[in-house]
């Protein structure tokens, strides 16, 4: 069983990923840490509290994280994709729980230091909290088991600019710190997340075959689905859940070990994850880059886990 902290900005796809993680026996969630991204941190924290309660695990701590990037204003427009409340504009009662008294970076540091070599960090939003934790206590770099992140694009176009993926673009300086910290990093980026599509028929089947969790997903996904359909996608790309799928079964993916840098100075290329495909930089590889995925098997696992939990 892999012990994980999910750093998250829920978010429709974050919610789908978190529910997958809670219903996968391979994983034990030690906490959720929240970040700006799809909406502001106030909303993402409330949504994270809702999710632990919905999943039947209100004991799992939720720690509120950074409100903005390290060096920039937050200018993201993720709400256009996820709705202003992050949950597709569907209204839900307020959660019963309260956030952990520690902020996210301190929670990450405390958990890693108390469990050396045991904790995998799973950031599926901007990487600010992860960078702050590494700066707050540099020793965690040698004590984290691995970092499996959803973000970046090595060989495909970006989704917020010609070259940049949204999570990295939202705080490129933080992303640079995380990629170059020295811990094991796996990048589950657009190269694979856009290879897997949940069609409207697939999403309908989730609701018909499931219960409370799948009904929740089908309700919040409508806004997200319409955004994708308007962009010409025949369903929704499976972003954050792809990182969870990698943790459940890495054999779903093909990877390549590469040196990856993050551009944070260029006016036009900020947030680009630059993979050194031919070793021209002369730098040792620092990242396992996911490049292929068995989408059919992945979608079967997702459906089985969520329907089985309902």
Mean pLDDT of 31-35: 98
Residue 274, classed as helix, strand or coil, is: strand
288, 256 Cβ separation under 8 angstroms: yes
User: Is the omega angle on the peptide bond into residue 11 within 30 degrees of 0, that is, cis?
Assistant: yes
Tens-digit pLDDT profile for residues 132-190: 999 999 999 999 999 999 999 999 999 999 999 999 999 999 999 999 999 999 999 99
Write down the mean pLDDT value for the chain.
96
pLDDT value of position 26: 98
Tens-digit pLDDT profile for residues 274-290: 999 999 999 999 999 99
Looking at per-residue pLDDT, the higher value among 300 and 208 belongs to: 300
Q: Please tell me whether the overall predicted TM-score, pTM, comes out greater than 0.95 for this model.
A: yes
Structural domain tally of the chain? Answer: 1
Supply the CATH number for residue 54's domain. 3.90.245.10
Extract the runs of DSSP E, i.e. beta strands, from the chain. Answer: 2-8, 27-34, 62-63, 119-123, 146-150, 185-188, 197-198, 236-237, 253-258, 260-262, 273-275, 287-293
pLDDT value of position 158: 97
| Tokens describing residue 117 | 């070599």
Give the distance from CA 189 to its chain's centroid.
10
pLDDT value of position 299: 97
| Tokens describing residue 33 | 């840490």
Mean pLDDT of 196-215: 90
Helix (H) or strand (E) holding 133: helix 128-136
pLDDT value of position 309: 60
At residue 56, φ and ψ (nearest 5 deg) are 80, 25
Tell me the pairing of strands 236-237 and 197-198. Answer: antiparallel
pLDDT value of position 178: 98
pLDDT value of position 172: 98
61, 107 Cβ separation under 8 angstroms: yes
Question: For the purposes of burial, counting CB atoms within 10 Å of the CB of 281, is it exposed (0-12), middle (13-18) or buried (19 or more)?
Answer: exposed
Question: Which range of residues forms the domain containing residue 239?
Answer: 2-309
pLDDT value of position 210: 72
Tens-digit pLDDT profile for residues 46-80: 999 999 999 999 999 999 999 999 999 998 888 89
- Crossing angle of helices 240-248/12-22, nearest 10°? 20
What does the alpha-carbon distance between residue 127 and residue 132 come to, in Å, rounded to a whole number? 9
Bridge partner list, 43: none
Tens-digit pLDDT profile for residues 225-251: 999 999 999 999 999 999 999 999 999
225, 200 Cβ separation under 8 angstroms: yes
Bridge partner list, 260: 275
Give the distance from CA 223 to its chain's centroid.
19
């Amino acid at each position: 069983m892999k012990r994980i902290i999910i750093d998250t900005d829920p978010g429709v796809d974050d919610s789908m990923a978190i529910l997958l993680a809670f219903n996968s026996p391979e994983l034990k969630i030690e906490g959720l840490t929240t970040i700006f991204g799809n909406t502001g941190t106030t909303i993402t924290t409330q949504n994270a509290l809702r999710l632990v309660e919905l999943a039947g695990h209100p004991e799992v701590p939720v720690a509120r994280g950074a409100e903005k990037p390290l060096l920039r204003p937050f200018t993201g427009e993720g709400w256009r994709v996820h709705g202003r409340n992050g949950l597709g504009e569907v209204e839900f009662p307020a959660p019963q729980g309260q956030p952990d008294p520690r902020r996210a970076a301190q929670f990450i540091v405390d958990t890693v230091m108390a469990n050396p070599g045991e904790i995998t960090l799973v950031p599926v939003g901007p990487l600010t909290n992860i960078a702050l934790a590494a700066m707050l206590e540099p020793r965690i770099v040698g004590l984290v088991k691995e970092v499996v992140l959803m973000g970046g694009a090595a060989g495909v176009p970006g989704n917020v600019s010609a070259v940049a993926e949204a999570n990295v673009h939202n705080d490129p300086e933080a992303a640079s710190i995380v990629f170059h910290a020295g811990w094991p990093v796996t990048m589950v980026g657009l190269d694979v997340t856009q290879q897997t599509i949940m069609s409207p028929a697939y999403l309908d089947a989730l609701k018909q075959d499931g219960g409370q969790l799948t009904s929740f997903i089908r309700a919040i996904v409508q806004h997200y689905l319409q955004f994708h359909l308007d962009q010409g996608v025949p369903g929704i790309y499976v972003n954050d859940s792809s990182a969870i799928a990698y943790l459940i079964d890495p054999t779903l993916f093909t990877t390549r070990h590469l040196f990856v840098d993050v551009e944070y100075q260029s006016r036009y290329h900020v947030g680009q994850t630059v993979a050194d495909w031919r070793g021209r930089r002369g730098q040792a590889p620092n990242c396992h880059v996911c490049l292929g995925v068995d989408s059919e098997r992945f979608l079967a696992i997702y459906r089985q886990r969520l329907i089985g939990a309902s």
